[in-house]
């Protein structure tokens, strides 16, 4: 979308109509129709110390155990009625085994098989599912190297939304989205548009370099996002709370447990998505976002928002710094044999490089030629070297 | 208070009974009784651009204008019934003209005169007050170089606490406290104990170096605090909100106004005081804290809390970094002629030096010999130089 | 759905799979496909005093004026990007002129015409819309007597979600749903299922009498609901806030304005929908709900919840009484000529009769044979007659 | 204070300076000085089923058990550092055994003995206290028939304010106040002024009949209040939360536990005190208020607020009805032998009678001659009889 077709807003970003993305080296668009994805449904995480992970996700974050054994723990959020939103499986290397989406009908699995087969991807279908609680499932190594899963059949469990006796101050109520690190963001976006995703927001520079994009099936800002970086890797998985104070309560509890070092970034208000956020690192370093209050995106002509990569409020509306580890660290993803996918380096400019430090530039007000005021610059460039 | 008399708590800090502070070079204790101070009541700020300051304090922060003219603006918070909590006076150099306290009776002004006269301080009394709305007042250059004011007589104005039609999302309801930068914290604390203040919390190292202390008259954590640094200077003035979301709303609004660079530090949860906080910088660089939810301290045997300077949760319970400007920047204070007081350098170790960067050390868990985990270290030491 | 197929939950209600509703005297199911409705989009309200209504919706509730003239005011919520969510039109009789839904494509209007024409309903289509900001539109008198509108073409306006400088403490961010009063709830539900709505929750007694049902297109608990009573009438239109404190702030502001008599019921927590709520009455008596935090319902097998009409927590999870006016009062609806539709009395049992007062019975715990404890009974039956 | 000396405010109430109260039949003012009371410190409640009470106060409300045995449970709030704020003692009749206040020094106990001895009250002093955790204590049957206790010596326990891992969504952080039912409010106020209490607010009619008054030692709206009614009885004991959502969470949890019938009144916003409130009834019917966010009252000239008994926003700022049981029910209080004090009927007009039902009158706006609008009247007078 050329910059001159963008409409500036009073909030500093631009809006456009969604348009086909141009990618240099695109994944072909299959002739087979895409499966009708409802929503991101669960992530399967491989963790190296199951007890430590259980303590983090159950004792600290308060997710509900649907089922567990010595190898695997199935967890769900309080408003969920399907078997799980997160699977923790014990394994030798911390990684992501599946980004799993629920589809609208059992027949959508046939479509998924045809769609990915046409793309030449490795596809595996199991009538009894890959994990407990889920029935007929298709797993693929997608064209970008991510382990994607699709399923419809699932065991129903009780939706505990009304069980306020079980709520903690930081109660997690829904799985909200995934976030994937990939070297070529336009290529990823174009492919996921083929899979039926709609773009809601992105970050670009004036040369049209795309640093990140957010894509949705359910009518929120995203079910997944593509973050530019060395990949395929998993950037984070996000759960929702009802209110902002729930997120603050998680921070307070981590402090009380003397585990504040699990807080990587935030809490804060995102520019992109307008949501309130917090990023944590689990015992294996897997990143978990806690997220609340983005906006409805379900209309077909929902305005696509483009943020300037140099806008210092794009990732934190309050202009607070993004810590470097947030840009650089991510989790490995597995192929269908359970081996880590090789990581390919990003060749486009990195968002961190163009915004932080000696080579970077950010502004609070677009017309401020000098970028950030001195003491905010200090925060990045001088202060922490003292 | 020797370290061995401290009782460790399950939260990582220590409690003791309050005890007389040892200072190397103490201010003498006057034989004259101290005035009975009720509370911090208002600060008089000299600002260089009155219109810019008005926009910040009135349009952005929502303080109520009691009265104003071309030279001066009198502002109050929503629950206040005295004429003002903040005076903005136009002047050539940004500085603090008065830290003003309300006393219990008109007679306490005589005590104030005697107390400071005995100390050899410069004292000035005006029957009609130094500013509008305030009657008989005493101003002094206190032994630490700060311009302190005491008054009882004051014009009553309407307490607007019930006027929810006037509330903004970030409504400020009370003046909470002052914070003073001074080179010798024990000397300051000892003197303010003589003036009737009670210590509630402090930050020390194992050698007994005191980096900061909090002192109160009203039964909250503080009416003022002594922060170690080059002084006398004013570190910040703090207003309260009712809830944490009010503080977040101020950040959101600053973002919307493209003034997020006014956010210097936070929002976050303090270790000291347990309050939720945000630090802003006004157009002159005067620091304003927004603060909510500390605890009751009014019992005479209220346990005094001592934090280890190396405890990374002491200033932010979530372990988020204190930006260097927060340690180094502060406002000049004026003598009674309106000239800036000379600033004396701190000679004791600086909190910033012992906790940040190459020479510093902080821990999340006391028994972690390695201090902060690698990616939190990165936040200070490596990351921002990239 | 026979009671024996229901699964009881630990929260006191039942879940079932959604099933075709049996209605005694059903509206026929058209052979023409239904238009693909995205969501409830706006309501057109006729008000008798435009200035008084403007004061209520703009000055008190803070809705944004997109456009206005002497006859009509177009209002939207902060996260909306279409021209309006509410139209206030001056007229002689307070009533509802349209329940307007947005459809997925321009072609869905043709489907709407065919669908209602087959049902023998009066249908009117205007290429330039019935109100400003909306293009090609179809209005019908639906088989239940309600003025329904469908449109796709709409003027885009700026989404003000990031404009926190415009937020009030009680900021309304989305239109959430409509609620319609109709004598025969199963008949209404069956018809709206034909129109593509999905049932999410209902209230029944053990004889299968249905007192109310909630139906959705977007994946929330509802876009509209059918409430049993004399109809067709409009029960309420609902706007969302981000958090519960926003709703409390609206109450506080109404108190400050000495307009607390606009508060009809609440605030409280619904059993049905699990949302936090408040019901207001506008200057004409039109009922407006303020609503926040229901749950995701977008999966095709989303469990349908059935509440026992005698469960005293079904409408208020805290067991607080539903005021009689909430059951009895509602707004007239207009036909396409602008004349009020005649109101037909409900013949089935009324929810108010079976739950309040001499003939009614409610319980907090299902197995408490005595119903409500004495002092809660007093609240309904004795107390207020004193 | 004659009505003509009152200053009306823009919020609908009046302010005056505090003045000596006129009482028809006053308790004499002792020549002995009153003890210096710091704050309300704990209540000793006699309960008939210790297990049921433990479930209510510990499992539902989340108070912390400091110590317990088969007969007695000692509970505290999260910010407390003294041994307890509530004692539950098993006994045959539900009642209050002590309203206990902490005094400033051990010597204040001698003053308490002299003060009450001069008044001819029964006084008992125990060097080892009446309950665990408390040392030297004085208990009296005060001139109004209430069992008052005074102590200074107390066992310190850990202040758990930072232990966010122990917080529930409805965490109680402080004991805030007591509330006493007494037939002659001016008599009570005058006596408690003699004891050193300061009046902050009251409710009167234009004839000067006083229906209730609020009195403080610590600088909040009250440590205790006098509510007109048959007495001596205990109206309620109140605990504070940090925020309003904490109070809503208690309601939600009671709903989830199917104990919503423990909610007697609220949640709501008080007119008097401006605090957010909820009233619960414990298993014995003892009333507990949950309370947050009143205002600072510590200045000696703090304006006294007088509410018109006919102002429908005085007890609930949103105009929601006060349920009759709230006016009529209260707990017995015990004499020093443990026998219930006889209850004396109020002879002045009752607030319930003058404001609710056939004989009562309330208004939302002072100049509305017709009082409440029809549908709000219905809430009280007609509606609940249907």
Contacts of B245 in chain A (CB under 8 A): 243-245
Distance between C283 CA and the closest CA of chain A, angstroms: 30
The last residue of one of the domains, among A120, A135, A164, is: A164
pLDDT surpassing 50 at residue A260 = yes
For chain A, give the mean pLDDT: 94
> Cα angle vertex B48, ends B42, B53, to 5°?
60
Residues C129 and C260 in one domain: yes
Residues A298 and A222 in one domain: yes
Q: How confident is the model at residue A370 (pLDDT cuts 50, 70, 90)?
A: low
Q: How confident is the model at residue C3 (pLDDT cuts 50, 70, 90)?
A: low
CB contact under 8 A, C256 and B171: no
Residues D54 and D81 in one domain: yes
Query: Cα separation of B363 and B308, whole Å?
Result: 10
How many independent structural domains does chain D possess?
Answer: 3
3 state DSSP class of C169: coil
Number of other CB atoms surrounding residue C337 within 10 Å: 8
Residues C152 and C127 in one domain: yes
Residues D326 and D363 in one domain: no
**The domain that contains B43 carries what CATH number?**
3.10.180.10
Q: Is the ipTM of this complex over 0.90?
A: yes
User: What is the phi/psi pair of residue C215, to 5°?
Assistant: -135, 140
Distance between A300 CA and the closest CA of chain C, angstroms: 7
3 state DSSP class of C270: coil
Distance between D349 CA and the closest CA of chain C, angstroms: 15
CB contact under 8 A, B364 and A261: yes
- Looking at residue A369, what is its pLDDT? 66
Distance between C43 CA and the closest CA of chain A, angstroms: 18
- Which chains pack against C, by 3+ Cβ pairs within 8 A? A, B, D
- Nearest Cα neighbor of A325 from A287, A358, A297 is A287
pLDDT surpassing 50 at residue C383 = no
Q: Does B30 sit behind a cis peptide bond, omega within 30 degrees of 0 on the bond before it?
A: no
Q: Are C159 and C81 spatial neighbours (Cβ–Cβ below 8 Å)?
A: yes
Q: What is the DSSP letter of C329?
A: -
- Looking at residue C382, what is its pLDDT? 34
Residues D292 and D239 in one domain: yes
Q: Are D94 and D48 spatial neighbours (Cβ–Cβ below 8 Å)?
A: yes
Residues D241 and D369 in one domain: no
Q: What is the DSSP string of A175-217?
A: EEEEEEEES-HHHHHHHHHHTT-EEEEEEE-TT--EEEEEEES
B59 CB-near residues (< 8 Å, 6+ apart): none
In a domain, D32, yes or no: no
In a domain, B273, yes or no: no
Query: Cα separation of D382 and D378, whole Å?
Result: 5
In a domain, A350, yes or no: no
- Looking at residue B96, what is its pLDDT? 98
Residues D226 and D103 in one domain: no
- Looking at residue D379, what is its pLDDT? 46
Residues D288 and D328 in one domain: yes
Structure tokens at D20: 């000596």
In a domain, B25, yes or no: no
- Looking at residue A317, what is its pLDDT? 98
Contacts of D38 in chain B (CB under 8 A): 298-300
Q: Find tokens 């019934």 and name the residue.
A: B81
Query: Cα separation of C163 and C171, whole Å?
Result: 11
Burial zone of A70 (CB within 10 Å; 0-12 exposed, 13-18 middle, 19+ buried)? exposed
In a domain, A238, yes or no: yes
Residues A227 and A113 in one domain: no
Query: Cα separation of D44 and D338, whole Å?
Result: 12
- Looking at residue D374, what is its pLDDT? 56
Residues of chain D with pLDDT under 50: 1, 378-386
- Nearest Cα neighbor of A194 from A11, A33, A2 is A33
Q: What is the dihedral of CA C218, C222, C223, C229, to 10 degrees?
A: 160
Residue B299: which of D102, D174, D242 has the nearest Cβ? Answer: D102
Residues of chain B with pLDDT under 50: 1, 378-386
pLDDT surpassing 60 at residue C354 = yes
Structure tokens at B153: 């007589």
CA distances from C81 to A286, B345, C66, C85 (A): 36, 56, 11, 10
Residues A123 and A225 in one domain: no
- Looking at residue C4, what is its pLDDT? 58
Q: How confident is the model at residue A381 (pLDDT cuts 50, 70, 90)?
A: very low
3 state DSSP class of B73: strand
pLDDT digits (tens, 9 = 90+) for A61-105: 999 999 999 999 999 999 999 999 999 999 999 999 999 999 999
pLDDT digits (tens, 9 = 90+) for A94-103: 999 999 999 9
In a domain, C163, yes or no: yes
In a domain, B154, yes or no: yes
In chain A, what are the helix, strand and coil shares in percent, each to the nearest 5? Answer: 20, 35, 50
pLDDT digits (tens, 9 = 90+) for C230-288: 999 999 999 999 999 999 999 999 999 999 999 999 999 999 999 999 999 999 999 99
In a domain, B386, yes or no: yes
A19 vs A53, more confident: A53
User: What is the phi/psi pair of residue A58, to 5°?
Assistant: -95, -55
The last residue of one of the domains, among A164, A190, A216, is: A164
Q: Find tokens 């009152």 and name the residue.
A: D6
| Chain B contacts in chain D segment 156-185 (CB below 8 A) | 156, 158-163, 173-174
Structure tokens at D158: 């850990």
pLDDT digits (tens, 9 = 90+) for A129-167: 999 999 999 999 999 999 999 999 999 999 999 999 999
User: What is the phi/psi pair of residue B53, to 5°?
Assistant: -70, -40
Contacts of D274 in chain B (CB under 8 A): 161-162
Q: Are D253 and C358 spatial neighbours (Cβ–Cβ below 8 Å)?
A: no
- Nearest Cα neighbor of B74 from B95, B45, B103, B102 is B45
CB contact under 8 A, C249 and B168: no
Residues C344 and C286 in one domain: yes
Structure tokens at C303: 């469990």
- Which chains pack against A, by 3+ Cβ pairs within 8 A? B, C, D
Give the structural domain span for D12: 3-26+171-348
pLDDT surpassing 70 at residue A1 = no
Say what the pTM is: 0.97
């Amino acid at each position: 979308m050329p910059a001159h077709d963008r409409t500036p807003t009073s909030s500093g970003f631009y809006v456009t109509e969604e348009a086909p993305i141009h990618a240099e080296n695109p994944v072909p668009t299959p002739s087979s129709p895409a499966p009708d994805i409802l929503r991101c449904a669960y992530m399967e995480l491989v963790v190296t110390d199951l007890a430590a992970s259980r303590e983090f996700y159950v004792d600290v974050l308060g997710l509900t155990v649907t089922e567990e054994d010595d190898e695997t723990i199935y967890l769900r959020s309080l408003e969920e009625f399907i078997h799980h939103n997160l699977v923790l499986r014990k394994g030798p290397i911390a990684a992501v085994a599946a980004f799993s989406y629920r589809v609208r009908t059992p027949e959508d699995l046939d479509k998924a098989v045809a769609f990915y087969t046409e793309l030449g991807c490795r596809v595996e279908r199991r009538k009894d599912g890959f994990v407990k609680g889920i029935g007929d499932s298709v797993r693929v190594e997608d064209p970008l190297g991510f382990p994607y899963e699709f399923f419809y059949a699932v065991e129903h469990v009780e939706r505990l939304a009304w069980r306020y006796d079980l709520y903690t101050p930081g109660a997690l109520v829904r799985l909200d989205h995934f976030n994937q690190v990939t070297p070529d963001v336009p290529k990823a976006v174009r492919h996921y548009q083929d899979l039926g995703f709609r773009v809601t927001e992105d970050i670009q520079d004036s040369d049209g370099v795309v640093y990140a994009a957010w894509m949705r099936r359910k009518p929120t800002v995203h079910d997944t996002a593509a973050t530019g970086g060395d990949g395929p890797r998993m950037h984070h998985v996000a759960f929702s709370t009802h209110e902002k104070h729930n997120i603050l309560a998680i921070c307070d509890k981590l402090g009380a447990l003397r585990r504040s070092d699990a807080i990587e970034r935030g809490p804060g208000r995102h520019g992109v998505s307008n949501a309130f956020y917090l990023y944590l690192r689990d015992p294996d370093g897997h990143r978990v976002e806690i997220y609340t209050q983005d906006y409805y995106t379900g209309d077909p002509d929902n305005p696509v928002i483009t943020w300037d990569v140099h806008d210092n409020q794009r990732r934190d509306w309050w202009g607070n710094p993004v810590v470097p580890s947030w840009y650089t660290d991510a989790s490995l993803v597995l192929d269908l044999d359970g081996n880590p996918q090789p990581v390919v380096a990003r060749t486009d400019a990195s968002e961190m490089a163009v915004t932080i430090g000696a080579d970077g530039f950010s502004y609070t007000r677009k017309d401020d030629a000098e970028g950030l005021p001195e003491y905010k610059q200090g925060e990045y460039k001088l202060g922490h070297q003292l």
